[in-house]
Amino acid sequence: MKILVLNGPNLNLLGKREPGIYGSQTLGDMMKGLQDHGRTKGVVVDWHQTNEEGCLVSRIGESQGVYDGLILNPAAYTHTSLAIRDALQAVTVPCVEVHLSNIQAREGFRHTSLTAAACLGQIAGFGARSYLLALDALLGHLKLSVK
């Protein structure tokens, strides 16, 4: 089983960017931990980070037939991107949306996710652990879908 993790804008700055909100781990550290977690479950986890919306849209479209599931942290595009939402709706690859911080506890403009409705669910507010929880939830869904 193969899972693709897509990370949006500014997540390459984790570890330096607002550690009080996002923690002190780098994205690379988080993704290594997620890959290790996936390996214990017999799953290959690939990941990609980009600051470009079009690249996220392309990667979602290219996931069809290659990946069994997606984990998406659209970052700021969560609140603005109809293109990412449309891409998620265009593929049959199930997706879980992830956020390190609790977006409902932050500024009002962060309370609305344009992308979450095109996903199985959303996990937010557990820092780096949000990715691990998302992988477990996605695998649980995929195993139920196979039966």
Using CA atoms of 124, 125, 131, 137 in order, give the dihedral in degrees to the nearest 10. Answer: -50
Could you give phi then psi for residue 51, rounded to 5 degrees? -95, 0
Residue whose C-alpha is closest to residue 116's, from 134, 128, 132, 129? 134
**Quick one: how far is CA 5 from the chain centroid?**
6
> Where on the phi/psi map is residue 76: left (φ > 0), alpha (ψ -120 to 50), or beta?
alpha
- Let me know if 37 is a catalytic residue: no
Residue whose C-alpha is closest to residue 129's, from 89, 98, 95? 98
Neighbour tally for 131: CB within 10 Å: 26
- Let me know if 99 is a catalytic residue: yes
| Active-site annotation holder among 37, 67, 79, 99 | 99
Sheet arrangement for strand 95-99: 44-49, 2-7, 69-73, 95-99, 121-124
Q: Which residues are catalytic?
A: 22, 99
